[in-house]
Structure 1
Amino acid sequence: MEGAYNLKYSFIGEWYDNQASLIRRFNVFYYPTDDTLEMFDLKNRKTFVRRVKVNGITLDKFYIGCTLYILGRLIKIVDFACEDTKNKLLRDMQVTFGMIKPTPTTTAGKILTHFHTHGLRVTKMKKARLSDEDVSVLFRRMVTDPTYPFLLEFLTGQHVYGLELVGRDAVESAIKIVGDKDPLKAEPDTIRALYGLDAVRNCVHVSSNVEDALFDIDYFFPPPALRSSRLTLTATLSNCTLCIVKPHAVREGKLGAALEEIDSAGFDITALNMFIVENINAAEFYEVYKGIVPEYKGMVEELASGPCVAMEIVAKDKNVNTAVEFRKLVGPADPEIARLLRPQTMRAKLGNTKVQNAIHCSDLAEDGLLEVEYFFKILGL
C-alpha cells in the first residue's frame, strides 16, 4: 500500500517571482492516489511546498503549457520531469489549436459542446479580430490552395474564436472530429458535416500536426509583451455588462450551452477571453459581497479554482439597458430557487449550488462597464 500511496507523476514548473524579477523552476510532483502535490525548488534544492491537496487541481489539469494556481502562485508547467511520466501521460495530454470561423454564436456554442463530448477540453479561448497577416500566418499551409483567396477575403477583419484543445491524441482527434474540409464530403456527425456550408465557410480550422499546433497556439495566445499588438481583444466598453462562466461550469462542459443561451436571448458576445483568476484578484472582484453574502469565501475560492470565461455582453436591441436585461436572463443566485421560480434562466439550467451557480453577471447597471474593464483592461494586461 505504501508504494501505491507514493505513486507520483513529475513535471517541471516555472513561477515568475515579481519581487525578485526572476523565473523560479520547480519539480512539481502529483500523487494520483489522493490528489495531492508537492513542489521542490530546483535551484535551492529543498522542498518548497510540502505534500498538500490543492482545491481544483486533479491530474487532468496537467499538460505541457498549462498554468496552475497553487497556493497563491501561478505555476506554468513547461515539461515532464522524467521519462516515466512522459511515457504514461504524453498521449492523454496532447494539445492542438482550433479556430471557430465567423459563424452564429449559437453554432459556436454547439461546436464547443461537440469538442467536449468527443473528449477534447478547451483550455484557452479568446475572441479576436483577424488581420490579413494573421490569416496568412494561421493558414500558411493553404496559401497555394485554390480556395485561399476566398478564405483570405472571408476571414480578414472578422471575429473568430481561437481555442487550445487538450486531450488524448488531440491533433488527430480534432482532425477526425471536424471532418473533411468540404462539408459535403465530411463524415456524418462531424462538425463540418453538421454546420459547414462550403470549403471556405466550414466553421472550424484545426492544426494539421503537432508542430503546427504549438506554433499556432503561441501565435494566437502570445506572451504579455505581444498582447497589445497581436490578435487583440475585441471589447467595445459601451452599453455592456460582464458575464463569467465559472470554473466548475467550464470543467463540466457547459460553456457551449451558455453561449447558446446568450445568443438566443438577444445578446451579442462582443469580447471573450479565458482567464485564470488569482485568489487575491477574485477577493478584490467580489469585495462588495464581503460581510454581506454568507457565500463570499466560497465564491472567491470557486472563481480561483481554475479557468473561467469572461465575456462582454451587449444587447442586440440598442434601446434597452444591457446590464438590466441580462441580469434577468441569468436569474436568482440560488439555482434551486431559480428552477422553482425562473426555470428558463441560465442559473436554473446550468447551476449546481449557490456557489457553483455557473454564471456571474453584474448586479447593478452601473457596475457592468466597470466589471468589463476590470477583466478586459486590468486582468487582461
Structure 2
Amino acid sequence: MEGAYRDKYAFVGEWYDNQASLVRRYNLFYYPCDDTIEMYDLKNRKTFLKRVKVTGVTLENFYIGSTLNILGRLVKITSFACEDTKAKLLKDMEVTFVLIKPIEANIAGKIITHLYQNGLRITKMKKSRLTADDVNYLFRYDVHDPTFPFLFEQLTDALVYGLELVGNNAVSNCAKLIGDRDPLKAEPNTIRALYGKDPVRNCVHCAPDPEAAVKDIEYFFPPPPFHSVRLNLTATLSNCTLCIVKPHALREGKLGDIMEQIDEAGFNITALNMFMVENINANEFYEVYKGIVQEFKGMVDELSSGPCVAMEIVAKNKGLHTAVEFRKLVGPIDPEIARLLRPNTLRAKHGKTRVQNAVHCSDLAEDGLLEVEYFFKILDL
C-alpha cells in the first residue's frame, strides 16, 4: 500500500449536492509531480473526475477541514484516505487560531503580512464584535490572570479579526512570532514587541495548544445554523462599497498590504469575511459584465478559483461618497494602465493582468450597497 501512494496523496472529501440534497463522498488523489487532482466516487465505485490541473490548488491546500474549489464544487477534506498520506502530512501541517484585538486596520495589515512572511497562511478570517460570552470562552485559560478583568473590559463589545492559520507546527511557530504577553519582555521583531503597548493591549491572542486551536476555530467560525446567533458579521450597509481581494492576491500574500493601503487612504474596513465563491455564484455576481467585457469568463474563473476576502468599505470622512472615492483608490481595470496613469492605486501596486488585477470594487456608485448585501447577507447564508 505504501508504494502505491508514493507518487500521490490520498484524502476523503465531501461535497454537498444542493440539487439532490445529499452529501457525496469521494477519494481525492493529489499528484505533486504535476499538481493534478483525481476524484473517485465512493458510493458509485467509479472515477468521478479524471486527472486534471485545478488552478490555485497545491499540496498546502490539503489539510483536515480545508475546503477546495474543484471545478465549481466546494469539496471539504474530512480525513486521510491512507496511512502513508497521514504519516507524511500530519506530523508537520497544523492549524491554529489567532485573534487580532481592537487595532487600526493598517497595523492589522502589518500583522497579517508578518504571519504570511513566516509561513503561516490564512484559511479562514472574519471581522466580528465580541460579546461577554465570547470573551469568556476565547480567553477561558486566562480567567485567573490578574489582567483578565481589564482584558474583559477592553474586548467586550469590541471589533476584532479572527483567523484560522495553517502551517508547519503552526501553534508553536505562531506563539514564537507573537512573543511574550508583555510587549516590554517580548523578543525584538515579534508582533507584540513591534505593535503592542502593555499586557492587555498587546495586539494579538493565539491558541495555547492544538486542542484549544481546534475548539476556538469551531467557536469563531460556526457552521451555518449558528451564523445568525454567534459572532456574526459587522456590515453597516450605510454609505458603503464592496472590495474583494481576489484569490490570486491572497495566495501571493498581498492582503495585509492592501488593508494597510485602504486604511491609510482614508477608509474604514467595517466588515470582512473570507469566502469560497462557487462558480455559479461568481457567474451571478459578475452577470452585469456578461457580453460587455471580453474577460468575463476569466473573471468568473478567477473569483471561484480559491478563497477571496470581501470587505465592506466606508469613508472615514462622512461627507464623502464612499463608492465614488474608493473607486479612485482602486484604479483602472488594467494594472499596466494603472501603473502608467495612477501608480499609487491598489491595482497598480498589486495587480498583474486585467483578470488578476488584485481587487474588485463596485464600479457604479449605486451598486456599492447592493454588492455588499450580496456578500454579507446572501452568500453568508
TM over 0.5: yes
Partner of 1:350: 350
Q: Residues 249 and 92 (structure 1 numbering): CA distance in 2 closer, same or farther, change over 3 Å?
A: farther
In 1, Cα distance between the equivalents of 2:19 and 2:169? Answer: 39
Matched ranges for 1:101-116 at <5 A: 101-116=101-116
Q: What one-letter code is carried by the residue in structure 2 that aligns with 1:123?
A: T
Instruction: Give the aligned partner of residue 251 of structure 1.
Output: 251
Match of 1:270 in 2: 270
The amino acid across from 2:292 in the alignment is: I
Amino acid at match of 1:234: T
Structure 2 alignment gaps of length 5 or more: none
| C-alpha contact (below 8 Å) 1:4/1:33 kept by paired residues | no
Distance 1:81 1:4 in 2: 12
Give the Å deviation of 1:19.
Answer: 2.6
Per-residue Cα deviation, 1:84-107 (whole angstroms, up to 9, x for no partner): 111111244211000100011110
Cα–Cα, structure 1 residues 361 and 261, in superposed 2: closer, same or farther, change >3 Å? same
- Equivalent residues of 2:5, 2:85 under 8 A apart: no
Q: State whether residues 14 and 26 of structure 1, in contact with CA within 8 Å, keep that contact through their aligned partners in structure 2.
A: yes
Q: What is the CA distance between 1:23 and its match in structure 2?
A: 1.7
Residues 43-192 of structure 1: matches in 2 within 5 Å? 43-192=43-192
Q: After TM superposition, where is structure 1 displaced by more than 3 Å over at least 4 residues in a row? A: 3-6
Q: Which runs of 5+ in 1 are unaligned?
A: none
**Deviation of residue 344 (structure 1)?**
0.8
* Structure 1 Cα separation of the partners of residues 176 and 45 of structure 2: 45
Shift of 1:6: 7.4
Aligned to 1:31: 31
CA distance, structure 2, for counterparts of residue 144 and residue 308 of structure 1: 39
Instruction: Please tell me the residue identity of whatever aligns with 1:43.
Output: K
Query: Judging changes above 3 Å, is the alpha-carbon distance between structure 1 residues 4 and 32 closer, same or farther for their aligned structure 2 residues?
Result: farther
Contact in 2 for aligned 1:101/1:204 (Cα 8 Å): yes
- Following the alignment from structure 1 to structure 2, what is the Cα–Cα distance between the partners of residues 6 and 141? 42
Aligned match of 2:371: 371
Aligned AA for 2:257? A
Cα contact 1:233–1:272 (8 A) shared by 2: yes
- 2:12 equivalent in structure 1: 12
Residues of 2 paired with 1:362 and 1:217: CA distance? 31
- SS of the equivalent of 1:366 reads helix
CA-to-partner distance for each residue in 1:327-349, whole Å, 9 max, x for gaps?
00000111111111101111111
Report how far residue 43 of structure 1 moved: 2.3
Structure 1 residues 371-380 or 56-65, which shifts more? 56-65
- Cα deviation for residue 119 of structure 1 reads 0.5
**Distance in 1 separating the partners of 2:333 and 2:46:** 45
The C-alpha deviation readout for 1:133-178, integer Å capped at 9, x for no partner, is 0000000001111111111000000000000000000011110110
Cα-Cα RMSD: 1.3
- Asked if structure 2 preserves the Cα contact closer than 8 Å seen for 1:5 and 1:33, the reply is no
Which residue is equivalent to 2:362?
A: 362
Verify the 8 A CA contact 1:330 1:359 in the aligned structure 2: yes
Give the distance between the partners of 2:115 and 2:328, measured in 1 at CA. Answer: 29
Q: Which amino acid aligns with 2:99?
A: M
- Structure 1's 6 and 34: CA in aligned 2 closer, same or farther, altered over 3 A? farther
After superposition, what is the alpha-carbon deviation per residue over 1:270-297, rounded to whole angstroms, capped at 9, x for unaligned? 0000001011111111111111111111
Distance (whole Å) between structure 2 residues aligned to residue 259 and residue 91 of structure 1: 33
Q: Secondary structure at the match of 1:192?
A: helix
User: Distance between the aligned counterparts of 2:5 and 2:176, measured in 1?
Assistant: 38
What is the DSSP-based 3-state SS (H/G/I as helix, E as strand, rest coil) of the residue aligned with 2:365?
coil
Amino acid corresponding to residue 195 of structure 1 in structure 2: Y
* Contact persistence 2:72–2:304 (CA under 8 A): no
Whole-Å separation in 2 of the counterparts to 1:81 and 1:173: 28
2:132 aligned partner, one-letter code = D
Deviation at 1:5, TM superposition (A): 11
1:20 Cα offset (Å): 2.7
Q: What is the identity percentage for the equivalent residue pairs of Structure 1 and Structure 2?
A: 73
SS at match of 1:30: strand
- Separation of aligned partners in 1, 2:229 and 2:197: 32
Counterpart of 1:219? 219
